[in-house]
Amino acid sequence: MLNSESIRKDFPMLSLRREDGKPLIYLDNAATTLKPRQVIDAVVRYYERYTANVHRGLYRLSQEVTTLYENSRETIAKFIGADPSEVIFTKNATEGVNIVAYGLDWNPGDEVITTVMEHHSNLVPWQIVRDKFKVKLKFLDITDDGYLDVENFTSLLSKRTKLLALNYVSNVVGTINPVEKLVKLAHEREILVLVDAAQSTPHIPIDVKKLGCDFLVFSGHKMLGPTGIGVLYVSKDASNVLQPAFGGGEMISKVDLVKPEWNDMPWRFEPGTPNVAGAMGLAAAVEYLEKIGMDNVRKHEVQLTDLALIRLGDLESVTIYGPKRAEDRGGLIAFNVKNINSHDVALFLDELENIAVRSGLHCAEPLHRRLGVQSSVRASFYIYNTIEEVNLLCNTLEKISKLL
Ligand code: PMP
């Protein structure tokens, strides 16, 4: 296990107490994570010491902050095994998907394959593309135990398949999808692949070159970073097929009244003043995670998830969705308690023990339909969560199910 005690000291939110003295048991990390002091300090440092715009001024301060901004990009690129020119700063994962959706050159009859286990962020943009450009949208199903139905992938392919867009780790069933294998199958047919890594970059080691994907997106706020900053990775090869969908300052190298010439990668996809404080905060988050080691982050979460799967699995009134083995999932578990609405379960956990979990559809409505449920409760873990917190969650759920 990680040394949670020393890690927890870095997170100001964890020292807060409710009026009744109960500490915050934060188990909603798939929605957003808490921020360590190091990240908060990096953001404050920009505003207190380095406020100036980037890439614009010749004065010393502007040069300094430009260097810090580009150093942040380098830190993040190294973290995912990319070249800095392949790392585009976005607002969040959602924006990254949209930049790809609007930047590819669509022809009527082109086809996109996605899956029934996507977050709306990796579904709705493709529905818009479908309706706007007369593109066909196809869905890879899941098996009843929550794995992608990979066997049926090739049956969805056609000569017109242009893109496969799928998540690496589901934010509901938690399944870790065989992305590398699917990228190989897609690339054999010159199909582009976009990976939604919003639930994987924070939790498991990521190497974009090993995955082989063309595009990959994630959000800073789910990995200890600030809100309002995310990343779109675009491989060097794929950058030739992606056009900027949004124009403005910084993304051009030359403009006359007739037409602009695009700037180099990655600035071509960063129109306007970027979130400089956010980039510096995200780099601090990455440095924090690297110090712990992503293998250790993963091990810690597997241990917590394994315990939760065993303990919740013992409760007759609890139904868990997704793979039974902790090794096959990210550090999150969606479940329902028999005869109790998911929102009521969340409210009881909050009321009784100050436990924060998510309830509802988790922005994955079609997946809940596929699972045949109205909604679910989701507990999701991170580096500062402990065995004691997981036990408290399970004990309280047991109490709730007996009480009602
Ligand atoms: N994809 C997945 C799998 C997610 O879990 C989320 C966030 N819940 C997103 C995309 C969207 O992230 P954001 O709202 O930060 O853009």
**What pLDDT is recorded for position 222?**
98
| pLDDT of residue 56 exceeding 90 | no
Question: Is 21 strand, coil or helix?
Answer: coil
Instruction: Report the run of H or E that residue 360 belongs to, with start and end.
Output: strand 358-360
Structure tokens at 292: 């712990």
Q: In the block, which residue shows the tokens 């593309």?
A: 129
**Using omega within 30 degrees of 0 as the cis cutoff, is the peptide bond preceding 274 cis?**
no
| pLDDT of residue 193 exceeding 90 | yes
Confidence label for 373 from pLDDT (cuts 50, 70 and 90): very high
Ligand 1 in reach of 115 Cβ (< 6 A)? no
Q: Whose CA is nearest to atom 6 of ligand 1?
A: 198
Mutate which of 171, 173, 368, 380 for ligand 1? The one with the most ligand atoms within 8 Å of its CB, which is: 171
Q: Which of 100, 97, 182 is nearest to 363 (CA)?
A: 97
Task: State mean pLDDT over 15-36.
Answer: 97
Entry field: residues in the chain = 404
| pLDDT of residue 3 exceeding 90 | no
Measured CA to CA, the distance from residue 22 to residue 315 in angstroms comes to 25
CB 329 within 8 A of CB 176: yes
Structure tokens at 139: 């869905």
| pLDDT of residue 404 exceeding 90 | no
Structure tokens at 171: 């934010």
Question: Over the stretch 225-260, which tens digit does the pLDDT of each residue have?
Answer: 999 999 999 999 999 999 999 999 999 999 999 999
Q: Whose CA is nearest to atom 4 of ligand 1?
A: 198
Determine the atom of ligand 1 nearest the C-alpha atom of 222: 15
Q: Whose CA is nearest to atom 12 of ligand 1?
A: 93
**What pLDDT is recorded for position 92?**
98
Measured CA to CA, the distance from residue 336 to residue 334 in angstroms comes to 7
Mutate which of 166, 204, 219 for ligand 1? The one with the most ligand atoms within 8 Å of its CB, which is: 219
* Catalytic sites, residue numbers: 363
Instruction: Report the run of H or E that residue 136 belongs to, with start and end.
Output: strand 136-140
Ligand 1 in reach of 92 Cβ (< 6 A)? yes
Query: Ligand 1 centroid to 257 CA: how many Å?
Result: 39
Measured CA to CA, the distance from residue 392 to residue 245 in angstroms comes to 48
Determine the atom of ligand 1 nearest the C-alpha atom of 96: 16
Task: State mean pLDDT over 188-215.
Answer: 98
**What pLDDT is recorded for position 1?**
80
Ligand 1 in reach of 363 Cβ (< 6 A)? yes
Q: How many helices (H) and strands (E) does the chain have?
A: 13, 15
**What pLDDT is recorded for position 4?**
86
Question: Over the stretch 282-312, which tens digit does the pLDDT of each residue have?
Answer: 999 999 999 999 999 999 999 999 999 999 9
Instruction: Report the run of H or E that residue 349 belongs to, with start and end.
Output: helix 342-353
Q: Residues near 351 by Cβ (< 8 Å), separated by ≥ 6?
A: none
Confidence label for 72 from pLDDT (cuts 50, 70 and 90): very high
Confidence label for 220 from pLDDT (cuts 50, 70 and 90): very high
Domains of the chain: 4-27+294-403 (3.90.1150.10), 40-290 (3.40.640.10)
Query: Ligand 1 centroid to 388 CA: how many Å?
Result: 28
Whole-number Cα distances in Å, 236 to 7, 135, 321: 37, 25, 38
Query: Ligand 1 centroid to 20 CA: how many Å?
Result: 33
CB 329 within 8 A of CB 323: yes
Query: Ligand 1 centroid to 121 CA: how many Å?
Result: 6
Ligand 1 in reach of 121 Cβ (< 6 A)? yes
Q: What is the mean pLDDT of the chain?
A: 97
Ligand 1 in reach of 194 Cβ (< 6 A)? no
| pLDDT of residue 403 exceeding 90 | no
Determine the atom of ligand 1 nearest the C-alpha atom of 118: 3
Determine the atom of ligand 1 nearest the C-alpha atom of 95: 16
Mutate which of 122, 363, 367 for ligand 1? The one with the most ligand atoms within 8 Å of its CB, which is: 363
Measured CA to CA, the distance from residue 337 to residue 401 in angstroms comes to 7
Measured CA to CA, the distance from residue 48 to residue 64 in angstroms comes to 14
| pLDDT of residue 221 exceeding 90 | yes
**What pLDDT is recorded for position 70?**
98
Task: State mean pLDDT over 81-93.
Answer: 98
Strands 215-219 vs 230-234: parallel, antiparallel or unpaired? antiparallel
